């Protein structure tokens, strides 16, 4: 162990030492350095937070302290880790309840080379008796985590290069990919800006696409569009525009997505299956009736559907409750020689369960069980736990959980907590959560959110508040799912104002936006009270965060005016601006509001 005056100073000393060693081996500082931070007193993903005490603020913002202690380990080669890595964002099919972690169903893609390095599980989850290859990957992960936790990434690398060191392109890709996988887009953007400013590398179209994606995620689509004008024309290609398209889809901005898609066609870029899938994703969420137009275009241009295309369409058919259409798509996949994966089987099983087709659901579950036996254990067990819970089969949930306990993974534990909670078996859920605390020193942030949701769903608000105090005490990392759970907790406790204040605080952070469903939950309670002021306030906040062109917020807004027995003005113009037109049921509600306007005019006349 080496003493140092500061965290940054010691890191720089270690990097210089590692660099000197690496020049003798393969000139790669990244492959020859292994650093591990000491235990974090607080866990957080935001840059400039300070350690805090047990308060709700700490749960919302996630406070932490960072120790200066580091270990230096023997060299390893980076060649094992630097693979192909892309920087576009691709919207995942996900569930359309918008209840995913970042509110828009986003995942990163074209990162197959990085997937082998960056394990999502904690270091504590790794076995002690691992082979040399596994140890090298773990070492690389620890180094990347050290870079992640550096307070100022620009100063970090500026001082490093001042010592005469250089970053290879593979190392740049590795660092950038890691920051983005951790959703540290501010740091990724700062790193990209520093690379361009310091001329560390000649930017390619992929680099510009990465930069564009980080801007879209941190500063918004408007800034991202402006950045395209600054990109040299020779690098303003398909990848850049496809990245912008994916960014539009990620925030569900349907108008902008259609505009970018059309511009790609106008510029003569070949329309790929990836671009078509982006449009299917956003139409699946907002305007399902437009999906056939994309499919027709794919047919006309001879664009062959991919495996993901079929999965998206299957999911869309399930949302339409079109069982026959969904089954035809499954048959078409089989004719193409494609086999449904566990995820697709789970989607179909959920559909059958929701439609009351338990016999067909059982067939899907048996197929997933077969995949589990063939070696797809982790994903299969994680899928089976909630499905058996939805069917009310506590014995089957117990059987799958017993299999998981032999070699538990955090994702399976969280699925088990959710499954037991759905069955109303709170004690079993608590037992799983207790096992997680004993097994992993720092469980994934989904751990607290999952057990908190169990308490909320089973009306145990007092236990939920106790857990929130514990989360505040340790400064647990908070994200959209945690915020959603906190809001629902206070709504259930009858404290809507507290729930609203949490939403206001996280919206001001501007790092991640709260979930769409979180806003809807608070809006509905204000609307029931006839509280027009707060309903309108939340409505406007949703629009500022990009939640536009949706009927539900307008419906809630109208309900607020109806319950307040107050006329609403300019509603049709506001809807028209979002290209929304009243449906029959909604038109009936608007007629009620118009009656209040007539009554108001009548009173004035009298």
Q: pLDDT tens digit string along 380-392? A: 999 999 999 999 9
At residue 109 the predicted structure's pLDDT band, cuts being 50, 70 and 90, is very low
Q: What tokens appear for 513 in the block? A: 């936006």
Q: Which residue has the tokens 């907002």?
A: 286
Residue 543 placed within a domain: yes
d(CA 465, CA 478): 15
At residue 479 the predicted structure's pLDDT band, cuts being 50, 70 and 90, is confident
At residue 547 the predicted structure's pLDDT band, cuts being 50, 70 and 90, is confident
Cα–Cα distances (Å) from 27 to 46, 61, 83, 168, 387, in that order, read: 33, 40, 17, 9, 51
User: How far does CA 467 lie from the centroid of its chain?
Assistant: 24
**pLDDT surpasses 60 at 420:** yes
What is the mean predicted confidence (pLDDT) over 388-397? 96
DSSP string of 365-407, one letter each residue: HHHHHHHHHTT-HHHHHHHHHHHHHHTT-HHHHHHHHHHHHHS
Q: Which residues pair with 91 in a beta bridge?
A: 106
Q: Are 449 and 482 in contact (CB under 8 A)?
A: yes
8-state DSSP, 107: E
What is the mean predicted confidence (pLDDT) over 73-80? 32
d(CA 576, CA 143): 52
Q: What tokens appear for 576 in the block? A: 């028209």
What is the mean predicted confidence (pLDDT) over 537-561? 89
Residue 199 placed within a domain: no
Sequence-separated (6 or more) residues with CB below 8 Å from residue 8: 150, 151, 152, 155, 156, 159
**pLDDT surpasses 60 at 535:** yes
At residue 309 the predicted structure's pLDDT band, cuts being 50, 70 and 90, is very high
Average pLDDT value for the chain: 76
At residue 595 the predicted structure's pLDDT band, cuts being 50, 70 and 90, is low
Residue 306 placed within a domain: no
Which contacts (CB < 8 Å, 24+ apart) does range 503-512 have? Answer: 503/538, 503/541, 504/541, 505/57, 505/60, 505/61, 506/60, 506/478, 507/541, 507/544, 507/545, 509/46, 509/61, 511/46, 511/186, 512/102, 512/103, 512/183, 512/479, 512/480
Residue whose C-alpha is closest to residue 77's, from 30, 35, 18: 30
Helix (H) or strand (E) holding 80: none
Residue 544 placed within a domain: yes
**pLDDT surpasses 60 at 197:** yes
Highest mean pLDDT among 38-42, 83-87, 565-569, 592-596: 565-569
pLDDT at res. 144: 73
Sign for the pseudo-dihedral over CA of 287, 289, 290, 294 = positive
Residue 139: phi and psi, rounded to 5, are -65, -45
At residue 170 the predicted structure's pLDDT band, cuts being 50, 70 and 90, is confident
Q: Are 18 and 29 in contact (CB under 8 A)?
A: yes
Residue 309 placed within a domain: no
Residue 389 placed within a domain: no
8-state DSSP, 163: T
pLDDT at res. 100: 36
d(CA 486, CA 502): 8
DSSP string of 55-72, one letter each residue: SHHHHHH--------EEE
pLDDT at res. 387: 96
Domains in the chain: how many in total? 1
pLDDT at res. 598: 57
pLDDT at res. 582: 83
pLDDT at res. 213: 92
Beta carbons within 10 angstroms of residue 313's beta carbon = 23
**pLDDT: is 356 or 23 the higher one?**
356
pLDDT digits (tens, 9 = 90+) for 25-60: 333 333 333 232 223 222 233 333 333 333 444 444
pLDDT at res. 499: 93
d(CA 82, CA 77): 10
pLDDT digits (tens, 9 = 90+) for 61-71: 443 333 332 33
pLDDT at res. 416: 96
Q: Are 216 and 247 in contact (CB under 8 A)?
A: yes
d(CA 61, CA 476): 9
Residue 530 placed within a domain: yes
Residue whose C-alpha is closest to residue 545's, from 503, 584, 573, 583: 503
- Range of the structural domain that residue 584 is part of: 515-606
Residue 541 placed within a domain: yes
pLDDT digits (tens, 9 = 90+) for 117-161: 222 322 233 333 334 444 555 555 666 776 777 778 888 788 877
Residue whose C-alpha is closest to residue 172's, from 139, 142, 135, 147: 147
Tell me which of 96-100, 131-135, 269-273, 333-337 is least confident.
Answer: 96-100
Q: Are 196 and 188 in contact (CB under 8 A)?
A: no
pLDDT > 70 fraction of the chain, expressed in percent and rounded: 73
pLDDT at res. 281: 94
d(CA 235, CA 438): 51
What is the mean predicted confidence (pLDDT) over 299-312? 92
**pLDDT surpasses 60 at 445:** yes
**pLDDT: is 71 or 504 the higher one?**
504
What is the mean predicted confidence (pLDDT) over 425-437? 94
């Amino acid at each position: 162990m080496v003493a140092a005056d500061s965290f940054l100073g010691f890191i720089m000393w270690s990097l210089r030492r590692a660099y000197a060693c690496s020049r003798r081996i393969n000139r790669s500082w990244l492959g020859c350095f292994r650093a591990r931070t000491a235990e974090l007193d607080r866990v957080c993903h935001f840059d400039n937070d300070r350690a805090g005490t047990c308060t709700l603020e700490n749960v919302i913002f996630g406070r932490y302290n960072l120790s200066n202690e580091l270990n230096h380990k023997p060299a390893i080669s980076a060649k094992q880790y630097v693979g192909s890595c892309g920087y576009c964002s691709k919207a995942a099919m996900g569930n359309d309840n918008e209840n995913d972690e970042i509110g828009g169903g986003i995942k990163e893609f074209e990162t197959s080379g990085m997937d082998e390095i960056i394990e999502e599980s904690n270091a504590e989850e790794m076995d002690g008796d691992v082979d040399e290859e596994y140890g090298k990957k773990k070492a690389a992960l620890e180094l990347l985590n050290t870079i992640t936790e550096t307070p100022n990434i620009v100063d970090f690398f500026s001082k490093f290069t001042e010592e005469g060191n250089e970053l290879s392109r593979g190392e740049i890709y590795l660092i950038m990919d890691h920051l983005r996988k951790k959703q540290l887009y501010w740091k990724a953007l700062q790193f990209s800006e520093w690379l361009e400013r310091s001329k560390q590398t000649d930017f390619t179209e992929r680099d510009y696409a990465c930069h564009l994606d980080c801007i879209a995620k941190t500063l918004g689509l408007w800034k991202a569009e402006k950045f395209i004008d600054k990109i040299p024309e020779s690098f303003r290609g398909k990848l850049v525009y496809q990245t912008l398209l994916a960014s539009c889809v990620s925030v569900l901005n349907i108008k902008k997505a259609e505009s970018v898609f059309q511009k790609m066609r106008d510029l003569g870029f070949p329309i790929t299956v990836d671009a078509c899938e982006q449009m299917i994703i956003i139409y699946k969420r907002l305007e399902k009736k437009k999906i056939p137009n994309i499919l027709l275009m794919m047919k006309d241009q001879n664009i062959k559907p991919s495996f993901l295309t079929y999965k998206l369409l299957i999911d869309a058919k399930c949302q339409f409750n079109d069982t026959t259409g969904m089954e035809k798509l499954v048959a078409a996949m089989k004719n193409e020689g494609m086999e449904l994966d566990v995820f697709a089987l789970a989607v179909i099983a959920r559909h059958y369960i929701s439609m009351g087709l338990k016999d067909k659901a059982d067939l899907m579950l048996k197929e997933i069980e077969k995949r589990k036996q063939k070696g797809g254990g982790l994903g299969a067990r994680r899928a089976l736990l909630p499905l058996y819970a939805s069917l009310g089969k506590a014995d089957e949930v117990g059987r799958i959980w017993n299999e998981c306990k032999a070699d538990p993974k955090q994702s399976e534990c969280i699925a088990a907590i959710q499954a037991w909670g759905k069955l109303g078996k709170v004690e079993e859920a608590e037992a799983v959560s207790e096992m997680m605390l004993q097994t992993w020193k720092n469980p994934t942030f989904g751990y607290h959110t999952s057990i908190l949701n169990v308490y909320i769903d089973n009306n145990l608000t007092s236990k939920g508040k106790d857990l929130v105090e514990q989360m505040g005490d340790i400064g647990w990392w908070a994200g959209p799912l945690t915020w959603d759970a906190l809001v629902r907790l206070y709504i259930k406790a009858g404290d809507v104002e507290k729930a609203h204040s949490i939403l206001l605080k996280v919206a001001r952070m501007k790092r991640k936006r709260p979930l769409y469903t979180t806003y809807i939950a608070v809006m509905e309670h204000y609307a029931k009270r006839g509280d027009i002021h707060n309903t309108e306030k939340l409505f406007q906040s949703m629009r500022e965060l990009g939640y536009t062109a949706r009927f539900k917020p307008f419906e809630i807004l109208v309900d607020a005016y109806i319950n307040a027995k107050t006329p609403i003005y300019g509603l049709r113009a506001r809807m028209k601006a979002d290209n929304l037109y009243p449906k029959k049921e909604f038109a009936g509600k608007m007629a009620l509001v118009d009656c209040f306007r007539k009554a108001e005019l009548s009173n004035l006349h009298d």
